[in-house]
Amino acid sequence: MIKIAIVGFGTVGQGVAELLIRKREEIEKAIGEFKVTAVADSKSSISGDFSLVEALRMKRETGMLRDDAKAIEVVRSADYDVLIEASVTRVDGGEGVNYIREALKRGKHVVTSNKGPLVAEFHGLMSLAERNGVRLMYEATVGGAMPVVKLAKRYLALCEIESVKGIFNGTCNYILSRMEEERLPYEHILKEAQELGYAEADPSYDVEGIDAALKLVIIANTIGVKASYEDVEVTGITQITPEAFQVAAEKGYTIRLIAEVSREKLKVSPRLVPFHHPLAIKGTMNAAMFKTDTAGSIFVAGRGAGKEETASAILSDLYEIYAGPR
């Protein structure tokens, strides 16, 4: 019986809970029986014997869970085998670092969707996991359901990855695709994106390139380029004009916010992309192009955000930990 604790019970945590409820049969067929033994957010929690369906309902109706114990207490003392750490990303790592560290120290596997801790302490946390004989999985931190982490770590493990160029922020890609189509000013399209729910009221985390840079740091460390957030040269999309799209189009190019890592480069910036290049992808999609020595160029694309897509990436990590060879 696999005992699962979920910490962080906002969109992602709730999405995981929903999939665990809805897909219990398939999941148990693949990885064996499981039970959610604790759920916590920063203010409240529930653990022991409880109904996950009830916990979801209580959180939605009251904003709280049953008990006073906070996330950190649950991480330290609840009975679980794997921690799903789904709290909200903070650029400095935030409380998530403590949740992950405490769980690893107790010899528990961790699956996280939280970029902050990995950006702040990638190698420290990885070696803590190794020393304790457990896994720290983080597919959901980059590109939602797009399989970039496992592609880099497993599938391309025997290749040299020379560079990764990616579109890691759906908000920026939506705004740029729409500017390309409509030739309207940035502010106009940003407003549209906000109305559609593709951009936050304060969009700076996305449009300044911060989110893409955090993901780039995670990918860089994954492929063996040691990097921290300060190492990334970041330019956002707020200064791009409809005229820039016009000039680019005349030469057969569009503009996309590209995050790139190689031995020489760690950079997030608006770049010219030929119309027919795979990275000229439109809408809220995320995409990544891996350049390798022997496997050539491998391209992947998928929904980079969304409750179900992120939860689905978390489940793929659970599968990787617990499923046998296939």
Shortest spacing between CB 257 and its own copies, in angstroms? 18
Residues that bind its own copies (CB under 8 A): 19, 23, 26-27, 30, 135, 144-147, 150-151, 153-160, 276, 278, 281-282, 292, 294-303, 306, 308-309, 311-313, 315-316, 318-321, 323, 325-326
* Residue number, 50 or 322, with CB nearest to its own copies: 322
Q: Which contacts (CB < 8 Å, 24+ apart) does range 306-310 have? A: 306/144, 306/145, 307/11, 307/12, 307/14, 307/15, 307/18, 308/15, 308/19, 309/144, 309/145, 310/11, 310/12, 310/15, 310/113, 310/140, 310/144, 310/145
- Please, are residues 52 and 18 in contact by the beta-carbon 8 Å criterion? no
Shortest spacing between CB 147 and its own copies, in angstroms? 5
Tell me if residue 215 is catalytic.
Answer: yes
Shortest spacing between CB 300 and its own copies, in angstroms? 5
Given the residues 215, 265, 282, 291, select the one marked as catalytic.
Answer: 215
Q: Is 34 annotated as a binding residue?
A: no
For 305, phi then psi, to 5°, come to -145, -170
* Tokens of residue 182, six digits: 């409509």
Q: Is 8 annotated as a binding residue?
A: yes
Shortest spacing between CB 233 and its own copies, in angstroms? 28
* Residue number, 87 or 286, with CB nearest to its own copies: 286
Query: One-letter amino acid identity for 264?
Result: E
* Residue number, 146 or 189, with CB nearest to its own copies: 146
Q: Please, what is the Cα angle at 263 between 261 and 266, to 5 degrees?
A: 35
Q: Is 144 annotated as a binding residue?
A: no
Give the containing element (helix H, strand E) for 71.
helix 71-77
**Residue list, annotated binding site for NADP(+):** 8-13
Q: Please give the positions annotated as active site.
A: 215
